[in-house]
Amino acid sequence: MALTPAFALDHERFGEAGSFRQEATMKTLLAPWERWCASSSFLRFIDINLRGIGQVMFQDNPLSGTLFLIGIAWASYAAGAPEIVIGGVVAVLVATLVAQWLHVDHTSLGAGLYGYNAVLVGLALMTFLGPGPLRWVYVLLGGAVSVVAMLGTAQAAKPWGASALTWPFVIVTWFLLLAAHAFSGLASVLAPAGIKPVEAAIANPLPAADFLQGVLQSISQVFLKGNGVTALFFLAGLAVNSVPAAVFALGGAILAVVTAHVLGAESDLVTGGLLGFSPVLTAIALGTVFAQPGLRIALYTALGVVFTVVAQAAMNLALTPLAIPALTAPFVLVTWMFALPREYLEPRRHSPPLRHARS
């Protein structure tokens, strides 16, 4: 069988004596396809995504991925829910594009190792969320963040020689599904005990004055203070030492308020800055502390800020039964996730393969 370069599993080496003929046959079968892919970037893109689907069950083979996809499509259509397979495909396509944008290792990318978590995220979200346009926004976000989570998990696990496996799928999907109960724009089919999903009635329109209040209090709530004037002092304090830090803090606050409101978060939480203070810290950390500010970093930071809003909402709900606040835990967790693979933000740098990711 074809071994994934630098990621071959121990169990893939079992029964090697009986596998060489199969490997040779498969190479012969796929030879024309490989030649076509070598001459067409579009076909190579398709190949990467099919391998990503195959890697869900550890198969670095586009034919395996095709058969898996057919099986998913059959089950989805048989259940009268074709949108499920579409969601999985959309997520894996987004993940591949994000992985290419981050300049991940070509060998790992070609083996589909940045797609298998994404396809699972897409399938899960389309399975457990009710119809609505924001469900597709969630799929796009989940597919993109799954790549960052894969890189971050792999980096964190490297010293122990451990495998990322499907942990990125699990953590990203947990946050997204749990946070859905805090957003009226998303309807979850799951009904957790003790958690009442937010209703659209309390996610009111956001007038300009309330929007400004939400932005400023997102900044002031970093120090647990809900005061607009205090926020201005905080911005000034940032600016005297680092203008980029002040810019990213303000930009993070604005994006956090917009994200929370668009998703349908409770208006009092939005205007009170209670969904924005962790994203503000994420924006400063990712945008100015762990990297040099720039357009590429700004886009990466924006993705981290949006996901921090989701993480904040999710942890607020998760900790409700314990009667303790999430505090800045969402900032810490998301910043770890996004900062660990920061080497991939270098536009012309190619890092060694993630040797532990599927080993």
120-167 residue pLDDT tens: 999 999 999 999 999 999 999 999 999 999 999 999 988 888 889 999
What tokens appear for 229 in the block? 């004037």
* DSSP 8-state code for residue 12: G
Q: Is 35 exposed, middle or buried (0-12, 13-18, 19+ CB in 10 A)?
A: exposed
Does any domain span residue 20? no
Alpha helices in 221-345 (DSSP H): 228-239, 243-263, 267-271, 277-284, 295-318, 329-339
Query: Domain check: are 42 and 170 in the same one?
Result: yes
Q: Distance (Å, rounded) from C-alpha 231 to C-alpha 3?
A: 55
Query: Domain check: are 256 and 308 in the same one?
Result: yes
Choose between 2 and 246: higher pLDDT. 246
Does any domain span residue 12? no
Does any domain span residue 109? yes
Query: Domain check: are 54 and 147 in the same one?
Result: yes
What's at 293, amino acid-wise?
A: P
User: Which structural domain, as residue segments, surrounds residue 267?
Assistant: 200-327
Query: Domain check: are 153 and 272 in the same one?
Result: no
Query: Domain check: are 117 and 57 in the same one?
Result: yes
pLDDT tens-digit series, residues 66-106: 999 999 999 999 999 999 999 999 999 999 999 999 999 99
Rounded (10°) CA dihedral 82, 138, 303, 225? 180
Q: Is 188 in a helix, a strand, or coil?
A: strand
Q: Is 272 exposed, middle or buried (0-12, 13-18, 19+ CB in 10 A)?
A: middle
- Please state, in angstroms and as integers, the Cα–Cα distance from residue 182 to each residue in 30, 187, 190, 288, following that order: 48, 10, 13, 30
Does any domain span residue 245? yes
The CATH number of whichever domain residue 143 belongs to comes to: 1.10.3430.10
Does any domain span residue 359? no
Query: Domain check: are 210 and 295 in the same one?
Result: yes
What pTM did the predictor assign? 0.84
| Domain total of the chain | 2
Does any domain span residue 247? yes
